[in-house]
């Protein structure tokens, strides 16, 4: 009786990418793009923070692509939770939100990079590869601006007070600055009008603004200033 032949186990040398985005169509497009690359493969996908956390513990991906706006929370909360759990997985933010407004918040939360969804496909692949190499990725213009800010006036704090806002408050502040009404903001963020009114009140308190008019003027000025800051 001959012993059964031993089969060789093949182990993939591809780096595993996990996707967190609440739009299935976006995830499908990312899967097609990423799996065209010889050294990358998508190991899983989800649209919520809770589903993502469960999967990340089991799958142990090499890098995670995460959007800021998710069904049950936001991407920066996921980044903080992953860090708190000690999973040590590089997190690359891929978002439609303007890099000049959100990249610094993302990096402060622990992200390894920030890419806008409007960027070229090659830019996303480059960002993934850079993060996998243990580096930080932001666009060249954003990188230059961050360096300027770091060395300006010997490190003098030149921020506008928005660093005190939470991510959700910053989202509401940006949408106010883009001319949206409270009801419109509630619809875009899938929250109640009452919740948005509460966020508006918190923003006014943190920025020491006395009225809704002052809030709108400050928000409009901030959006205009920040949007052109890296140009």
CB 107 within 8 A of CB 101: no
Total domains present in the chain: 2
How much is the average pLDDT of 113-117? 93
| pLDDT score of 11 | 57
151: confidence class by pLDDT, cuts 50, 70, 90: low
| 171 in the same domain as 70 | no
pLDDT in tens, 14-65: 999 999 999 999 999 999 999 999 999 999 999 999 999 999 999 999 999 9
Q: Which residues pair with 63 in a beta bridge?
A: 17
pLDDT in tens, 125-148: 999 999 998 888 988 877 766 666
| 179 in the same domain as 105 | no
| pLDDT score of 141 | 78
228: confidence class by pLDDT, cuts 50, 70, 90: low
Of 168, 167, 182, 166, nearest in space to 215 by CA: 182
Q: At a CB cut-off of 8 Å and minimum separation 6, what does 227 contact?
A: 98, 100, 101
Share of the chain above pLDDT 90, in %: 45
| 23 in the same domain as 135 | yes
| 204 in the same domain as 103 | no
| Per-residue pLDDT at 2 exceeds 70 | no
Flag whether 113 is in a domain: yes
Handedness of CA 149, 155, 161, 164 (dihedral sign): positive
Q: At a CB cut-off of 8 Å and minimum separation 6, what does 101 contact?
A: 170, 174, 223, 226, 227
Residue 230 falls in which region: left (phi positive, over 0), alpha (psi -120 to 50) or beta: alpha
| Per-residue pLDDT at 217 exceeds 90 | no
CB 227 within 8 A of CB 101: yes
| 86 in the same domain as 189 | no
Q: Which residues pair with 65 in a beta bridge?
A: 19, 92
**H helix runs in the chain, sequence order:** 24-34, 49-59, 75-84, 99-109, 121-132, 140-151, 167-177, 182-189, 193-207, 212-229
Flag whether 156 is in a domain: no
pLDDT in tens, 176-186: 988 888 889 99
Specify the pTM.
0.68
How much is the average pLDDT of 75-88? 88
Q: What is the largest CA-CA distance in the chain?
A: 89
Report the CATH number that the domain containing residue 184 is assigned in CATH: 1.10.10.10
d(CA 130, CA 127): 5
**In whole angstroms, how large is the CA radius of gyration of the chain?**
20
d(CA 48, CA 40): 23
| 134 in the same domain as 30 | yes
pLDDT in tens, 99-110: 888 888 888 888
10: confidence class by pLDDT, cuts 50, 70, 90: very low
Residue 193's domain spans which residues?
162-229
Flag whether 8 is in a domain: no
Q: Higher model confidence: residue 77 or residue 157? A: 77
Flag whether 90 is in a domain: yes
């Amino acid at each position: 009786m001959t012993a059964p032949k031993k089969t060789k186990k093949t182990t993939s040398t591809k780096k595993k990418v996990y996707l967190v985005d609440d739009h299935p169509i976006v995830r499908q497009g990312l899967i097609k793009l990423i799996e065209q690359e010889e050294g990358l493969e998508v190991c899983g996908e989800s649209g919520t923070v809770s589903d993502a956390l469960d999967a990340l513990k089991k799958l142990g991906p090499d890098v995670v692509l995460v959007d800021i706006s998710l069904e049950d929370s936001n991407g920066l909360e996921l980044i903080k939770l992953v860090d708190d759990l000690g999973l040590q997985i590089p997190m690359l933010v891929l978002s439609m939100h303007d890099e000049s407004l959100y990249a610094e918040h993302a990096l402060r939360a622990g992200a390894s990079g920030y890419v806008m969804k409007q960027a070229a496909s090659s830019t996303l692949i480059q960002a993934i590869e850079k993060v996998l190499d243990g580096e930080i990725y932001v666009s060249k213009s954003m990188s230059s601006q961050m360096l300027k800010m770091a060395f300006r006036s010997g490190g003098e704090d030149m921020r506008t007070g928005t660093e005190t806002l939470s991510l959700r408050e910053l989202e509401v502040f940006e949408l106010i600055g883009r001319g949206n009404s409270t009801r419109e903001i509630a619809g875009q963020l899938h929250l109640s009008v009452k919740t948005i009114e509460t966020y508006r009140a918190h923003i006014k308190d943190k920025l020491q603004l006395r009225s809704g008019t002052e809030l709108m003027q400050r928000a409009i000025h901030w959006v205009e200033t920040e949007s052109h800051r890296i140009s």
